[in-house]
Amino acid sequence: MRWIAGGIARRPRPRFDGWIAGMGTSSGTRIVLGHWQRSPFGPFSDVMAERPDGNRLLLAPTQQTADFISGTYVFDTVRVVPVDVSVKDDTWTVTAGPLDLRFTTGRRRLLGLVLHAVPGVLARSPAWSALTDPPARLLLPGVRTRGSAGGGRREWYGARDLRPIRAVSASWEGADLGAMAPVEPPVLFGFGSVPRNPAVTRVTTVVALGPE
């Protein structure tokens, strides 16, 4: 769908506001949780997981969200399953199909304090994401704040907060995934990974649906 402004056809730019949590486990499974309070689909959560053998999975709560996410990122397996997230104080509890996950966050460090001061209107701007992309690559290897996504789409991330993850407990189909570990190697769902050190980032994500 296109809309017309001043006689110019433009592609819609869906916006997602929420949190992305990225963590590794000593078994080799890396997990990326998206917890979206505001989105074109309403509030929802999803899980992207990369297994030790490189298999990339998406766990999404509806076919509509699964179709959108798999049209933006690359997966080997897509499953539509209930994805439930509970946040109480610093503890997050997640159940999503084969995954049972619990993790706790710590206090903001220097970068988190800086990002927490970014106004929401600025974080939503693709121009801000373009400006922060070079320092993000320098400070957080593997992380990018803009790039080309799947299906000819482009994507921008505006970070507004960052908290370290202190502890992780996770199982996959009942099998323990081991202790918390860095996100190493980086996940390969799209044009960038999450920070190597497990963390929860508050973000505004904007997606351009095709060339403009």
Residue in the structure block whose two tokens are 């970014």: 118
What are the residues whose beta carbons fall under 8 Å from the beta carbon of 161, sequence distance 6 or more? 108, 112, 115, 116, 201, 202
Q: In sequence order, what DSSP letters do the residues of 57-76 get, joined into one string?
A: EEEESSHHHHHHHHTTS--S
- Is 116 among the domain residues? yes
Whether 2 is covered by a domain: the verdict is no
Chain segment 175-184, per-residue pLDDT in tens? 999 999 999 9
Residue range(s) defining the domain that contains residue 135: 17-208
Those residues with Cβ within 8 angstroms of residue 164's Cβ, 6 or more apart along the chain or in another chain: 105, 106, 107, 109, 112, 197, 198, 199
Q: Does 12 reside within a domain? A: no
Mean of the pLDDT values across residues 89-111?
A: 94
pLDDT of 9 above 70:
no
> 3-state DSSP call for residue 111?
helix
Better pLDDT: 107 or 120 = 107
Residue 153 bridge partners (DSSP): none
| Number of domains observed in the structure of the chain | 1
Q: Is 210 left (phi over 0), alpha (psi -120 to 50) or beta?
A: left
Token pair of 142, please?
A: 């593997």
Average pLDDT, the chain: 86
Whether 102 is in a domain gets the answer yes
Q: How far apart are CA 60 and CA 44, in angstroms?
A: 9
Domain-embedded: residue 179: yes
Name the amino acid, one letter, at 34. G
Please give the residue that has the higher pLDDT: either 129 or 197. Answer: 197
pLDDT in tens, 44-82: 999 999 999 999 999 999 999 999 999 999 999 999 999
Q: The CATH number of the domain where 175 resides is what? A: 2.40.400
Q: Omega before 185 cis (within 30°)?
A: yes
pLDDT for residue 206: 83
For residues 40 and 135, the model is more confident at 40
Cα-flanking dihedrals φ and ψ of residue 121, to 5°? -65, -30
pTM of the complete model: 0.85
| Number of other CB atoms surrounding residue 14 within 10 Å | 15
**Mean pLDDT of all residues in 92-112:** 93
Model confidence band, residue 11 (pLDDT cutoffs 50, 70, 90) = low
Is residue 5 assigned to a domain? no
Backbone φ and ψ for 125, nearest 5 degrees, come out as -85, 125
Residue 165 lies in a domain: yes
Q: How many CA atoms lie within 13 A of 54 on its CB side?
A: 0
CA distance 38 to 16: 6
Q: Does residue 156 lie within any of the structural domains?
A: yes
How much is the average pLDDT of 144-166?
A: 80
Question: What's the DSSP call for residue 135?
Answer: H
